[in-house]
Amino acid sequence: MSIVAIPLGVPAARLAMDGSNIPGDRVVQTRGLTKHYGQIVAVDGLDLNVYRGEVYGFLGPNGAGKTTTLRMLLGLIKPTSGTATVVGSAPGTPASLIRTGAIVETPAFYPYMTGYDNLRLLAIFCGVPIERVAATLDEVELTPRAKHKFSTYSMGMKQRLGIAAALLKEPELLILDEPTNGLDPQGMADVRNLIISLGKGHRTVLISSHLLSEVEQMCTRIGVIRKGKLVAEGTIEELRGATALTVRATPAEGARRVLEAEIGADNVKVVDEGTFSLRVDLKRAAAINRRLVESGIEVNDLHANERSLEDIFIELTGEVGGL
Amino acid sequence: MTFAAFRGEMYKIVRRPAVWVSIGTLLLLAALIGYALLWFVFTHPPAGSEQGLPPGARLSDAKVALYPANLVRETLSMWGDLGGVFALILGVLVQGSEFGWGTVKTLYTQRSGRLAMLAGKMGSLAVMVLVMVLALFAVDAAGSLVVATIDGKSTTFPAIGVIARGIGACYLIFGFWALLGVCLSTLFRQSAMAIGLGLAYGLVVERLIFGLLAILGGTTIPSIQQWFPITNTTYLVQSFGSNGGVRVGTTATAAVPFADATHATAVLILYVAVFALVTAWLSRTRDVTA
């Protein structure tokens, strides 16, 4: 069975996946997950699958329901209806929590304690060996400030302590809600690389972000949520869909006739006078060019047209994504 | 897992300066106001200050309350209510700050369930309230010993059983106030409202309402009043008797004395249990959205 990309703009349908595209068993699975706040539907019948070993990007505009979904997966918010399984257990249960590390929005710690003491506290709560504290602080390069109070930390340092806290349990699943918030460009790059490295192997990362370029670099698969509904899900390549070929040629009418004869009228879209968008395999570009030239058509331009993730995001959500 | 939660909460609470500032302030006030200032005023009464006392009575007669024999009565009557305010603050510090800092979500995403985390928190609070009560009695014991030694009076303390009962009563009263703080903090998900309403109710509202209703007379109002918490903290304090001589420095109101210590203890335990249950229910069922 081959991969079927979800048609853009069509309500999400499950991807048919072959074995090579299923990284492992489902680490996160929701079925009809719904959350109402009075008349407001924050999350609407969400069916989400996150597989072991993948870095799953959860995209959506502000207020789309991303954080509410992540909070439901952590047991912080109870769903109005629907079910969810997180690393094999119900969200918020000890069995699920001990195998999940998380940052939800801004990391929250005790301001009167040092970074080290805050992590040590979490180690006590989780039954993690104390030695893990220093190692984790080292991993996020916070050791030099470990003995300083949390209240003195910059936003970036707080974020790094949050990541350290999420890693403390050596969890199978990391749920990261906007993990690069407040970081400077270097910090963002560091966290991005860290997440990419964490996503290798059997660890699963579920990450929500507004930063499309970031998601593009980090994630193996993406889900796009809009008004509480999952509107698309797949790899970036799948979401981009078929790549188009743009041709600019004269005379326009002659060029149209040649192109329609070559690849079929359904696959030729007239963009404007003499410019065509072709839905065709890029491997055929040279043959199409030759055919036009042999027919006496002057080819002024011929190039592949890839849609960016931002184009896809705007198309799916009707909003401009973060930069 | 509950023990891990308790260990964690203890780790937090002993490192928090605000907790020690609260306890330290209470102890400082106990030493300064409860003994040093009263002893000075009783020993050197300002001119005219004895006007209005019963015939033959002198202000210095009140010093008997400061001696070791009256340790339990003096501590409870002086600090039963005012000390409770510090216990209320302690309860709010322990629970209300979690909402202010947003650390509720951090706590609930570690390992233990919500109720286990709450049990750990309640356990650590119980320990700190006990520390507060024991330290208060220790400071008062030291103060009374110093005063008696200066005045050349007996340094004999009440029987150990009486002291133990006094500590138990004080622990129950402070526990009530602390749980009130925890419950209000959870209900309003913040500290300011919890402290404000807790103080207003504990120090003003109940007394004011029943003070006004008492004008109506009859037995109905007192029979209702005996089920209210502040009235019962007063009952419990009064069950240790009143100090002889001139009453000075107490904030205890003249509660209607028809309820005994057993009734007061039972009612206060009931309130503590209700506060704990309400807190547990709110903690378990509410969404954490901040």
For the stretch A160-192, pLDDT in tens is 999 999 999 999 999 999 888 778 888 888 888
Residue type, B139: V
Chain A residue numbers touching B106 (CB-CB < 8 A): 107-109, 122, 165
Please calculate the CA angle B203-B205-B210 and round it to the nearest 5 degrees.
Answer: 110
Q: Which among B101, B112, B287 has CB closest to A77?
A: B287
* Dist CA A304 CA B248 (whole Å): 93
Query: Which pLDDT belongs to residue B1?
Result: 61
Structure tokens at B153: 């009076």
Mean predicted confidence (pLDDT) in B31-35:
94
| CB contacts, 8 Å: A78 with chain B | 285, 287
Least confident of A37-46, A105-114, A302-311, B183-192: A302-311
| Residue A316 CB partners (closer than 8 Å, separation 6+) | A8, A9, A224, A226, A231, A232
Q: What are phi and psi of A99, to 5 degrees?
A: -105, 10
Radius of gyration of chain B (CA): 21
CA distance B247 to B263: 25
Q: Residue B152 corresponds to which tokens in the numbers above?
A: 């050349």
- Mean pLDDT of all residues in chain A? 85
Instruction: Report the range out of A149-158, A311-320, B208-217 with the highest average pLDDT.
Output: A149-158
Q: Is A1 exposed, middle or buried (0-12, 13-18, 19+ CB in 10 A)?
A: exposed
Q: A226, A63 in Cβ contact below 8 A?
A: no
Positive or negative: CA dihedral B57, B62, B65, B69: negative
Task: Number of helices (H) and strands (E) in chain B: give both, helices first.
Answer: 13, 0
The beta-carbon neighbor of B110 closest among A109, A117, A122 is: A122
Which has the minimum average pLDDT: A196-200, A260-264, B102-106, B234-238? A196-200
Contacts of A29 (CB under 8 A, 6+ apart): A48, A49, A50, A84, A85
User: Which pTM was predicted?
Assistant: 0.83
pLDDT of B222: 83
B109/A124 touch (CB, cutoff 8 Å), yes or no: no
Measure the CA–CA gap between A67 and A230, rounded to whole angstroms: 14
Cα separation of A276 and B200, whole Å? 77
| Residue in the block written with tokens 């009809």 | A32
Tokens of residue B236, six digits: 């419990």
Decide if B20 touches A, using CB distance below 8 A: no
The strands making up A26-37's β-sheet, listed across from edge to edge, are: A40-51, A26-37, A81-86
Q: Which of A70-84, B7-21, B43-57, B241-255 has the lowest mean pLDDT?
A: B241-255
Residue A107: strand, helix, or coil: coil
Q: Helix (H) and strand (E) counts for chain A?
A: 11, 13
Q: B113 and A93 in contact by Cβ < 8 A?
A: yes
Q: What value of ipTM does the predicted structure carry?
A: 0.88
B-facing residues of A in 72-101 (CB < 8 A) are 74-78, 92-94, 97-98, 100
Residue type, A47: D
Q: What's the rounded Cα separation, in Å, for the pair A231 and A212?
A: 16
A vs B, Cβ pairs < 8 A, gives 87
Cα-based angle A30, A31, A33 (whole degrees, multiple of 5): 80
Q: Does A120 touch chain B (CB under 8 A)?
A: yes
pLDDT-above-90 percentage for chain A: 54
Whether A126 sits inside 8 A of B111 (CB atoms) is yes
Q: So where are chain A's domains? A: 19-99+171-240, 244-306
Which of A100, A107, A124 lies nearest to residue B4, judging by beta carbons?
A: A124
**Cα end-to-end span (Å), chain A:** 36
Task: Indicate the CATH number of A244-306 among 3.40.50, 1.10.10, 2.40.10, 3.30.70.
Answer: 3.30.70
Q: How far apart are CA B233 and CA B242, in angstroms?
A: 15
User: What is the per-residue pLDDT for B129?
Assistant: 98
A27-31, A35-39, B196-200, B247-251: lowest mean pLDDT where? B247-251
- Tens-place pLDDT, residues A243-289: 678 899 999 999 999 999 999 888 888 888 889 988 888 788 899 99
According to the model, what pLDDT value does residue B259 have?
66
Q: Render pLDDT for B251-270 as a digit per residue (tens, 0 to 9).
A: 444 445 556 889 999 999 99
- Cα-to-chain-centroid distance, residue B105: 31
Q: How far is A76 from chain B, CA to nearest CA, in Å?
A: 5
- What pLDDT, on the 0 to 100 scale, is given for residue B258? 56
Task: Please tell me the distance from the alpha carbon of residue A187 to that of residue B144, in angstroms, as a whole number.
Answer: 61
Kindly report the CATH class assigned to A19-99+171-240: alpha beta
pLDDT of residue A3 exceeding 80: no
